[in-house]
A and B are shown apart, each in its own frame.
Chain A
Amino acid sequence: MNDVNYRSPLYIQLREVIRSKIEEGEYPAGTAIPSENQLSEQYGINRVSVRSALAALENEGLLRSVQGKGVFVCGEKTERELDTLGGYRHTMKERSREATTRVLVKALRKAGPYYAQVLGLHPDDDVWFVRRIDYSGGEPVALEEIYIPYAVLPGLEDIDIQLFSIYDAYLWNGVQPSRGHQVLRLTHLEPAVAKLIDLPPQQAVMEFSCVTRDTGGRVIEFARNYVRGDKTEFRVHYTNSQLV
């Protein structure tokens, strides 16, 4: 790739410009790069060439274009599977169905008295608050509420979590989740919240709350997940040798 010079076709030159901006972090993983128009204007080359450059990088898996949203930088491929010796694993009863998510809230808030304690912060510290709905085959199955100290993941602002997982966002920002302490309860939701996941009134849901730490033992996340028990089941493996 380094044999590109001023005589190379413009689209190849642009391809290498974008590649190096991705490698150097000017275009961080999970964020959108400038639009075709902007790139065409910035470098004074026509849009057909811009499109060819982007298509090449998309083929390499470095970029991902999303209709109506733009072209996004993909980070390294990540292993999202939890360890088989882990806690409850979320298995959709109908596995083959497409999983999608809809973000209702992604905003900064003050930790406040409770999340300050859970996350080891001061009540006035900023935390990310994300509320989203997970769908399986178009049907809502879970409502997630996630709290992340701002200082752990300042880069979340520019990452589109509709397209990328928060786990990806951690890895791209050099945060390595290591273990989570998970508690499962049965609970009831108030009607307005139950409606978000089409839960009939009075029907119980599974509530998973999980405090996640990184390899250094720092709390990086508190998540509360309300899951329809009629749509999912959970599985945990354990061994005696694992006793701590």
Chain B
Amino acid sequence: MKQSRWQQATYRHPYLFALLLLAVAFTVNALLQPNLLEPTTLNSNMRVFLPLILVAVGQAIVMIGGGIDISVGSIVSVTNAILATQIGLSGDLSTAGVIMGVALLAGMGAGALNGLCVAYLRLQPIITTFATSFIYSGLALFILPNPGGGVPSRLTAFYRETIILWLPLAFYVIALILLIWAAIRRTRYGRYLYAVGGKADAAYETGVPVRAVQFSTYVISGFMAALGGIAMTLLTGSGNAQVGDPLTLSSITAAVIGGTPLSGGAGGVAGPMIGAIILGLIRNIISFANVATWWQTFVNAAIIVLALATPGIINLVRRRNR
């Protein structure tokens, strides 16, 4: 039962493996693409990764609480549809702010519906959020049936081109999230989150408000998905009711690579953010390694599977070794 040092370290810092992987991916990428470290290149990469980073944070919080959220991609699409239709290409900045607030509330509302079904009606999270995802993507199509609309270029320019002290905007967003997360981890809510995901029965016996905590994770996830939707809209500058769909599975992949197990009660948000960056870097590596066209999808998937399987392989080898 005695733990190895590696186990102890990964327990304390669940993102450790992801960080290692990031170092490898980043090194390989930088070798293939020497200008990766230039602020503009870094910025152009990070602004593409940011929507997934934000969505993965929400997903990770749900997963820590012992659930899963299949509807995050659809919530991103709804947000995108709201922004593209309500702000418009020539909208002014103050309405844009109001509409963004509305979009965030909509995301939280969608999360609240998920939370209601899972925490209070006790429905299976994976089925429930899969089902609600159709409600949300249907809503997105209703708001924006045909691709179009958009947000003013001043807004997209701010998102795309803001670099402060050599660091892209995305870094400050990430830093802010880490700061807030560090604070949450030091509150009772943070403890409850892990207790509920770890062993809900024990948490209930001890007096933790299990349902309220489960409910809250979905609201947070809806909020983060809406934030991701805003980032996505500022990246593309236009509306498309299906823009968020691929983010759902990527967010789960990112969370798992980032050391958040599907079984709940462990992990954090730093790992999933790193996981999202890794997924993006892998695409870069494939691009810059000049992988033959017909192999690109295969190699991309193979590297992801390898990244997911590595902790398992390490454990297997360790067990054999014993």
A binds B: no
**Interface of B toward A, CB cutoff 8 Å:** none
